[in-house]
Amino acid sequence: MERQYGSNSLSPCSSISNGVLQETVDVTKCLTEANELIEAIGAFSGFRKTQSKECLNLVRRLKMLVPLLEEIRDLHDMLPAEALSSHISLLKEALVLAKRLLKNCHNGSKIYLAFENEAVMARFHVVYDKLKEALDGIPYDELGVSVELKEQVELMSTQLKRAKCRKDTQDMELAMDMMVVFSKNDERNADPVILERLANKLELRKIADLEAETIAVQKLVRHRGVPNSESLQQIIDLLRKFKQIAGMDNNVAPDGPVVSKSLQRCKSTLIPHEFLCPITLEIMTDPVIVATGQTYDRESIQKWLNSNHRTCPKSGQTLVHLSLAPNYALKNLILQWCQKNNYELPKKEVVAGMGDTPSDLAGEISSLVHNLSSSQLDIQREAIIKIRVLSKENPENRVWIANSGVIPPLVKLLSYPDLNFQEHTVTALLNLSIDDSNKRLIAREGAIPAIIEILQRGTEEAKENSAAALFSLSMLDENKVLIGSLKGIPPLVLLLRDGTIRGKKDAATALFNLSLNQANKSRAIKAGIIQPLLALLEDKNLGMVDEALSILLLLASHPEGRSEIGNNSFIEILVNIIIDGTPKNKECATSLLLELGRNNSPSILVALQFGVYEHLVELTRCGTSRAQRKATSLLQYMSKCEHIP
């Protein structure tokens, strides 16, 4: 939902989404760059055999975008920049990813691309998702795009959707041969027949091809592009075998020793697979866990989320909440490994040091802090709005603004008896709270009681942003306890029940995070959270079934929660979701039924009476991987009950 503010408070190049101001981009420049990217992509000649079909299909589809981009460039002046900027920016981002992927498939290691074919295909799916999201969001009717181009885009969107779902028949002989040669326990791993067949399939028989492959493998060594040293060693060993088949002498060929020496030099610093961020494939400096349990580097996943993505990049699952939990155990392992291997973690590139505010910005921030104490209402309001804008722009600004002492006066202004003032102030604090150290500062200054007050009595938009601020602050465990003890949960439950769709979503996200604390589970149950959650399950139009089930799953681990939700009518709702819900709905409902059944056997019997058994069997075959595991566990548990048919 887009937040609408007073026309005098925003520049014409800005829009507000989810309470946070977003700057638009130069649409014309972005369109030009998109065209240049497509031109560069079209210049690639030939791709590795294992991904050739996918690459050619992608290039063909991207070339079809050129007429559309040209027409948008001619017509985009008919709309405000903010109506197009996010979609064109997302399209450009998709094209950048596509170019990087296609370049890798054009000149990357053939052995590596065959070995990691599944992971490479996952990268194609990420590109498809971004392209489809960008194309589906462009306002074609408002622009006046021709019917022919609209039909072409609709066709492409359908093709992208099918491309992601399609699973082409894999070259099973190639897959089996790769498995054999990479197996330590299979005595056929040096079988010359298999090696020759594999060399033929990978087109690594000619001297020129083997020399090009050696260069590609050298790049893998230098850039640590392979997850672990064992895999890299296997790739190099296989390349040596291919060279022997071709009659090349590794000791004489100029490229042979280079690979070997490079491997010896880098072996101690080949980064273990689990230390690499799945998005960037670089070592993680600040690993965090998302709702699906996957770990990413904070900077990478935050950029993903800031681009309005609400799925897990690796699994594709919808994120039921946007909380990022620090993975301290993994971070400690990474630090120990770095110390042992004398490896220096990469420094984050920033425009200026985190502690050194650029002089022009320092002067502006100092002036804004001073204006917050002005006796003139308009000057104060203008300062708050400017702080809100600056704190949205980048992480460094949030640190610099907080270090300037802006948080104490902002917290005081939360209590100013003007609803518009409160709305802007709580949004500014929401933006500042994205930084972890600022979360603590905001809480220490006593902001939480005032935010809860705005949540109870503010405008609809202020309530939504207050809920989002409480969610952000609750990322720290001490703040979870503080928000719960200060009675922040009951107004969140009311917003979940009576708020706008955006308000319900903000409330649900905050309540999920707060309910990770055991004492808060009891507070939420006593505040009457169960009935609003049941209403979300029954109203499919709100699209919040997954969020409701995820919160209920947390509450089901509490005795009071099981008592509230373990009745027959609720079990019937769960069974109906398992029967008719989306794949993710079914997964969540099965997990919840399993949690209830483990602590309340009658729930299992009731579910059986409602006909859940055959649908659980179906889930073990066709559900998501997590749904399959949960359904299997549930069926095993059911088999222990004497009343199973």
Note the pLDDT of residue 78: 59
Average pLDDT over residues 300-307: 76
**Over 90: is that where the pLDDT of 526 sits?**
yes
CA atoms of 430 and 396, how far apart (whole Å): 15
Q: How confident is the model at residue 320 (pLDDT cuts 50, 70, 90)?
A: confident
Q: Would the CATH topology of 273-341 be identical to that of 360-566?
A: no
Q: What residue segments make up the domains of the chain, in order of their start?
A: 27-165, 186-246, 273-341, 360-566, 567-644
Note the pLDDT of residue 383: 93
Average pLDDT over residues 133-150: 79
Note the pLDDT of residue 476: 87
CA atoms of 470 and 451, how far apart (whole Å): 8
Alpha-helical segments (H) within 1-81: 27-42, 52-63, 65-75
Q: How confident is the model at residue 465 (pLDDT cuts 50, 70, 90)?
A: very high
**Over 60: is that where the pLDDT of 354 sits?**
no
The verdict on domain 273-341 having CATH code 3.30.70.250 is no
Note the pLDDT of residue 157: 81
What rounded mean pLDDT belongs to the chain?
A: 79
User: What does the pLDDT look like over 63-102, one tens digit per residue?
Assistant: 888 888 888 877 766 566 666 777 888 888 889 999 998 9
User: What does the pLDDT look like over 230-247, one tens digit per residue?
Assistant: 677 778 888 888 877 766
Note the pLDDT of residue 21: 34
User: What does the pLDDT look like over 541-564, one tens digit per residue?
Assistant: 888 898 899 899 889 888 888 888
Strands annotated E in 360-519: none
Q: Give percent of the chain above pLDDT 70.
A: 82
Neighbours of 597 (CB within 10 A): 22
Note the pLDDT of residue 350: 38
Higher pLDDT, 483 or 49: 483
Note the pLDDT of residue 359: 60
Q: How confident is the model at residue 459 (pLDDT cuts 50, 70, 90)?
A: very high
**Fold topology of 360-566:** Leucine-rich Repeat Variant (1.25.10)
Core vs surface per residue 442-469: b (16+ CB within 10 A) or e: bbebebbebbbebbeebeebbbbbbbbb
Neighbours of 267 (CB within 10 A): 13
**Over 90: is that where the pLDDT of 577 sits?**
yes
Secondary-structure percent of the chain, ordered helix, strand, coil, rounded to 5? 70, 5, 25
Higher pLDDT, 587 or 540: 587
Average pLDDT over residues 257-277: 53
**Over 90: is that where the pLDDT of 171 sits?**
no
Angle at 425 between CA 422 and CA 427, to 5 degrees: 110
**Over 60: is that where the pLDDT of 372 sits?**
yes
CA atoms of 140 and 158, how far apart (whole Å): 16
Note the pLDDT of residue 12: 30
**Over 80: is that where the pLDDT of 31 sits?**
yes
Q: How confident is the model at residue 47 (pLDDT cuts 50, 70, 90)?
A: confident
**310 in helix, strand or coil?**
coil
Higher pLDDT, 50 or 187: 50
Q: How confident is the model at residue 379 (pLDDT cuts 50, 70, 90)?
A: very high
Average pLDDT over residues 435-443: 86
Note the pLDDT of residue 267: 39
Helix or strand (DSSP H, E) at 23: strand 20-23
**Over 50: is that where the pLDDT of 225 sits?**
no
Q: How confident is the model at residue 384 (pLDDT cuts 50, 70, 90)?
A: very high
Neighbours of 79 (CB within 10 A): 15
Q: How confident is the model at residue 189 (pLDDT cuts 50, 70, 90)?
A: low
**Over 70: is that where the pLDDT of 187 sits?**
no
Range picked from 216-225, 295-304, 394-403, 609-618 for highest mean pLDDT: 609-618
Query: Please, are residues 550 and 290 in contact by the beta-carbon 8 Å criterion?
Result: no
**Over 80: is that where the pLDDT of 262 sits?**
no
**Over 80: is that where the pLDDT of 186 sits?**
no
Note the pLDDT of residue 20: 38
**Over 70: is that where the pLDDT of 301 sits?**
yes
